[in-house]
Chains A and B, each alone.
Chain A
Amino acid sequence: MSESVIKVENLSKQYRLGEVGTGTLAHDLNRWWHRMRGKEDPYLLVGEENDRETVGNSEYVWSLRDINFEVKQGEVLGIIGKNGAGKSTLLKILSRTTTPTSGSIKLKGRVASLLEVGTGFHPELSGRDNIFLNGSILGMSKSEIKSKFDEIVDFAKVDRYIDTPVKRYSSGMYVRLAFAVAAHLDPEILIVDEVLAVGDAEFQQKCLGKMRDVSINEGKTILFVSHSMAAVRNLCNRVIHLKNGSIQQNGDTAEVVNSYLTSNNTIKTSYDLSKSKRRSGSGVVQFLSMELRNEDGEVVNTVLTGDNVTLVFKLRASVSRATKIDLGFSFHNAYDEVLAALYSSYQDYYIEISDSEYINVYCVIPEFPFSAGQLVVRGRIEVAGEESDWPSEPLGIINIETGDFFRTSKINNKITTPFLMKGIWDSRSY
């Protein structure tokens, strides 16, 4: 069990920015000229750290720089990081769709990479043909597919359509068939990208469940890249946090995920909606932005479970006087499923505006009951029962970290449910 099946040594990958044009040819020739004389590639020396937000001096950036890690058999390793941290580059090198600039990766056993489901599906071909085609592309032999064919069809539940071209399939059937093929691969190492976040919640649960199943029951090694901290927490034994192409942290899941979330303060957590056109409603009263305040009244973007959290909604009215304003907001998870919604009218509270263009609405949520992760906040306003504003963009994002919800002075990291609740406990002998 403790044998290393993946060993990554000093792995680096350099990319050239900008477009391919005449300059590219000049560099290519220069590089070739250096190589002919037995010298090193002159452009390897000039690479910069890959930070999207600062404009660099060099056209060359290191998408990955000196990455070292090992994965043992049966481990589920999560890879997290901001966009552009190098996650996808690492996956691409691992799945051999591109090569490293320097360093090496050593692998033991058959590798299957699922960067996408349904790679190579041809719309004109029948489900049957596509199972064979897709299976072979993913590395199965014809006899292997034949022996698993019935299982695959059964898993996808498309028996009736198996000889129909897949372009006639509903998108759900298409994805199910594609995933069914992937799920019946039998590799020792499985590389999975975020792409499995397509499809509905049930399908995602199925994917995650299947992955957990193969790692625990069959001892398969899985590399899992994701932005969903919930999925990573759920699935991984160990997590690597990539930042600007280097490993920031490599260790226990809860530890790495937590420090990743706290390092995330630069992430935009509230949006300026004052200029947004993508909204419906009469526009009498509209959202401008949203703010999050902690118990001390400071504006924050990360809150702790169990804290008293204040949501501040900044509104603008286009009339000088409006009554019966009903403000509602909802919390959504990363899959945009609504977890909770609250209108002020539920509590018989209505907002009034008079002789003023701007107004702040405060809503305190006592003992914030959502567990660690991220919530997307959306909002809607009604004035006298008619829709006034319903932006299609979210108002903001709340980062939540585990706090002392139960007032026990202990941090309980084991909770994976989205909601937390407290009870009043008692027991009597009789």
Chain B
Amino acid sequence: MQSVLLEEEKKVELIVEPEAEEKWDLVIEPKSGLFDLRLKEVWNYRDLLVLFVKRDFKAQYKQTILGPLWHFIQPIFTTVVFLVVFSNIANIPTDGIPPILFYLSGITIWNYFASCLNGTSNTFVANAGIFGKVYFPRMILPLATVLSNLVKFSIQFLLLLSLLIYFSIQGVSINIGWSLLVLPLLLVVLAGLGLGLGIIISSLTTKYRDFSVLIGFGVQLLMYATPVVYPLSFLVEKSYRWFIVWNPLTPLVEAFRYALFGQGTVSASSILYSFGFMLVILLVGLIIFHKVERSFMDTV
């Protein structure tokens, strides 16, 4: 800043008219361009992003005995319940994958999407306290949610991996290898979908809380429209199959299982479809979010 000031003084000396165009570092105005998303500013605040992720992780299990072990307990119990309900009672097949692995893999990948969506969808309302007092790029908080959920996902993925190894020792055929390289892409697409949808909902929630009610059960119902508790192959010749196929989450879950077990109904074009869908949702989300973040304190 010092050097900027010095430069400016020089300029004033050189230019005869001192009233020449002044240089301002920041202009606060009512409107901004539709695509002026200030993403560079988000990069400038990356330290804060990292600190928020650390905060989420450190604070979540303070004063619990099991601590991060809770990340294991939730998927294990859910798997047990799914085993009983969907495998034993409803007799839904699992694509030839051992049911425990089938459900646990579905839950692990679904949890990542659902927690991204749930976490980001209340960004504005939950953080109104901070947002009302100080400015920083609002996108930092939903991004932090996505990243801390990635940490959680990694922990749950370790559980899945160790179970996989156990089963492969038992002689079940496992597909782990190069196909795992597709995993980062799947996670990016899932995170983008969760984030995009989440920030759209959080933007709408600032004025109309109706959407936060919707998201409460909507995410749960969405799980049943995604092949988490059943394989896509099970739906052949069902009249509502098209609905599940066009769900952009479907190829991602199927691809995740395909990468791990070599079983699943997935094609490159369907993943490309999910990817394109994600880009659109994310862009729309960013535009709406940026429009809302500027004045949401008035309506929240």
A contact set with B: CB distance below 8 Å: 3-4, 7, 15, 20, 24-25, 28, 92-111, 113, 115-116, 119-120, 122, 124-125, 129, 132-133, 136-139, 141-142, 165, 188
Chain B residues with Cβ below 8 Å from A108 are 23-26
> CB < 8 Å: which of A25, A101, A106, A129 contacts B30?
A101
A95 touches B45 (CB 8 A): no
Number of A-B residue pairs at CB separation under 8 A: 111
With A137-B134, A139-B136 given, is the CB distance from A99 to B47 under 8 Å?
no
B contact set with A: CB distance below 8 Å: 1, 8, 22-30, 45, 47-48, 50-52, 54-55, 58-59, 62-63, 130-136, 207-208, 294-295, 297-299
Chain B residues with Cβ below 8 Å from A165 are 62
In whole angstroms, how far apart are the Cα atoms of A52 and B130 in the complex? Answer: 28
In whole angstroms, how far apart are the Cα atoms of A101 and B294 in the complex? Answer: 11
B59 touches A106 (CB 8 A): no
> CB < 8 Å: which of A3, A20, A111 contacts B207?
A20
Chain B residues with Cβ below 8 Å from A124 are 58-59, 62-63
Among A98, A115, A132, A133, the one with the most B-chain Cβ atoms within 10 Å of its Cβ is A98
Residue on A nearest B23 in the bound complex, by CB: A108
Residue on A nearest B209 in the bound complex, by CB: A20
Question: Shortest Cβ distance from A13 into chain B, in angstroms?
Answer: 9
B59 touches A20 (CB 8 A): no
> CB < 8 Å: which of B8, B27, B45, B131 contacts A136?
B45
A15 touches B1 (CB 8 A): no
A110 touches B294 (CB 8 A): no
10 A-B residue pairs with CB within 8 Å: A92-B132, A93-B28, A97-B133, A97-B134, A98-B294, A100-B28, A113-B133, A115-B132, A133-B51, A136-B47
In whole angstroms, how far apart are the Cα atoms of A113 and B28 in the complex? Answer: 15
Chain B residues with Cβ below 8 Å from A7 are 24
In whole angstroms, how far apart are the Cα atoms of A105 and B50 in the complex? Answer: 31
In whole angstroms, how far apart are the Cα atoms of A108 and B26 in the complex? Answer: 6
With A97-B297, A137-B134 given, is the CB distance from A104 to B29 under 8 Å?
yes
In whole angstroms, how far apart are the Cα atoms of A382 and B28 in the complex? Answer: 59
> CB < 8 Å: which of B22, B25, B27, B130 contacts A120?
B130
With A24-B207, A120-B130, A129-B55 given, is the CB distance from A92 to B62 under 8 Å?
no
> CB < 8 Å: which of B25, B30, B298 contacts A109?
B25
Chain B residues with Cβ below 8 Å from A92 are 132, 297
In whole angstroms, how far apart are the Cα atoms of A110 and B135 in the complex? Answer: 12
In whole angstroms, how far apart are the Cα atoms of A100 and B134 in the complex? Answer: 16
Question: Shortest Cβ distance from B143 into chain A, in angstroms?
Answer: 14
In whole angstroms, how far apart are the Cα atoms of A411 and B110 in the complex? Answer: 76
Which are the 7 A-B pairs with shortest beta-carbon distances? A96-B135, A136-B48, A106-B24, A105-B28, A142-B47, A124-B62, A124-B59
In whole angstroms, how far apart are the Cα atoms of A24 and B210 in the complex? Answer: 14
A15 touches B298 (CB 8 A): yes
> CB < 8 Å: which of A4, A93, A100, A137 contacts B136?
A137
With A92-B297, A97-B297, A107-B24 given, is the CB distance from A113 to B59 under 8 Å?
no
In whole angstroms, how far apart are the Cα atoms of A244 and B132 in the complex? Answer: 22
